[in-house]
Structure 1
Amino acid sequence: MSDFRRNSAGYLANHMARLFAVGLSRRIQPLGLAPAQFMVLLELWEEDGRMQADLVAALDVEQATMANTLARMERDGLIERRASETDRRSRLIYLTDTARQVRAEAVAAAQAQNAVALGRFTEEEKTQFLDMMRWVIGNMRRE
């Protein structure tokens, strides 16, 4: 591995994210989920009935990417769109019973992937690593 790749935060983060996504995908695919759908579900499990723009901002993805993900999720019976009671022009995204029923298994699958990824860390190292990841994300959001 070249010095640049070995010392590039971007290269290493991207490589780690791709490997994590492959592992997560393998674990949640039997539930009928893809990693991008899982990220949306995490947001909706936390707060159901959100606007698409809120999900775009929360997940730092492009509007078109979110629109495609939500269309697949609607097709797969994971979400439904309903008119807002306060603004009829707005449509809110709600979980279906199917999405609620896979929550425990999906979260357990993600926890298993996290355990593999962080398996050799001590508890203190895990805390430090996750803190540093959050700091980097915060730095990138402020740019």
Structure 2
Amino acid sequence: MSEKWDVLSTPGHLVSIAARGFARLSEARLRPLGFGVGHLPVLVALRDGRAHTQRDLALFARVEQPPMAQMLARMERDGLIRRTPDPDDGRSSRIALTETTLSRIPEAVAALYQGNRDALDGFTDTEAAQLVVLLARLITNLDQITSVEK
């Protein structure tokens, strides 16, 4: 790649702008349902049984424990999750989605998929699939670089 690129035309900058655009779109569509973009990893992990504790959720979402604790406190306050004592570890809680949250997830998923379709307007199915493949490779590369540089 040429180093003569305008820094505002680099993949990193353009991906960042696209990510912020997707976040704004998703926030606007999720807000009426009582969700935020930051809730998505928690909702997915709990719904699919991939995580049940704050520690598991932080690992799944790739965030540190303190921000996860703050988000879970807000989600509990807003009635999105409930905590129960962990029978295997008295210091820990098991976290689950409330019935209200579970009932809203299908509409949230539909809103997110529609947002993606809207954002990819004019892309062919092949182009959209290729974009997903390329972004997944980019994320893998970035994960490898950042894990080495820690």
Q: Give the structure-1-normalised TM-score.
A: 0.90
Alpha-carbon deviation of 1:72? 0.9
Please tell me whether the aligned partners of residues 49 and 94 of structure 1 are also in contact (alpha carbons under 8 angstroms). Answer: no
Matched, 1:53 2:55: yes
Please tell me whether the aligned partners of residues 44 and 94 of structure 1 are also in contact (alpha carbons under 8 angstroms). Answer: yes
1:32 is matched with: 34
Matched, 1:5 2:8: yes
Q: List gaps (5 residues or longer) in structure 2.
A: 146-150
1:139 is matched with: 141
- Alignment coverage as a number of residue pairs: 141
Cα deviations across residues 74-131 of structure 1 (Å, max 9, x unaligned)?
A: 0000101122122222212111111101011000110111111222211111111111
* More contact order relative to length (CA 8 Å, sep ≥ 6): 1
Alpha-carbon deviation of 1:49? 5.5
Please tell me whether the aligned partners of residues 81 and 93 of structure 1 are also in contact (alpha carbons under 8 angstroms). Answer: yes
- Structure 2 counterparts to residues 22-101 of structure 1, below 5 A: 22-47=24-49, 50-101=52-103
Q: Distance in 1 between matches of 2:18 and 2:63?
A: 18
My pick for the range that moved more, 85-94 or 123-132, is 85-94
2:148 is matched with: none
Cα distance change on mapping 1:59 and 1:50 into 2, 3 Å: same
Cα deviations across residues 57-84 of structure 1 (Å, max 9, x unaligned)?
A: 2222222221121111000001011221
Q: Give the % identical residues.
A: 38
Q: Distance in 2 between matches of 1:53 and 1:26?
A: 29
- Aligned residue for 1:88, secondary structure, equals strand
Q: List gaps (5 residues or longer) in structure 1.
A: none
Q: Give the structure-2-normalised TM-score.
A: 0.86
Please tell me whether the aligned partners of residues 23 and 37 of structure 2 are also in contact (alpha carbons under 8 angstroms). Answer: yes
Please tell me whether the aligned partners of residues 54 and 68 of structure 2 are also in contact (alpha carbons under 8 angstroms). Answer: yes
Q: Distance in 2 between matches of 1:26 and 1:10?
A: 24
Alpha-carbon deviation of 1:38? 2.7
Please tell me whether the aligned partners of residues 53 and 92 of structure 2 are also in contact (alpha carbons under 8 angstroms). Answer: yes
Q: Distance in 1 between matches of 2:95 and 2:15?
A: 30
Q: Distance in 2 between matches of 1:85 and 1:55?
A: 18
- Aligned residue for 2:19, secondary structure, equals helix
Q: Distance in 2 between matches of 1:140 and 1:92?
A: 32
Please tell me whether the aligned partners of residues 51 and 57 of structure 2 are also in contact (alpha carbons under 8 angstroms). Answer: no
Alpha-carbon deviation of 1:10? 2.4
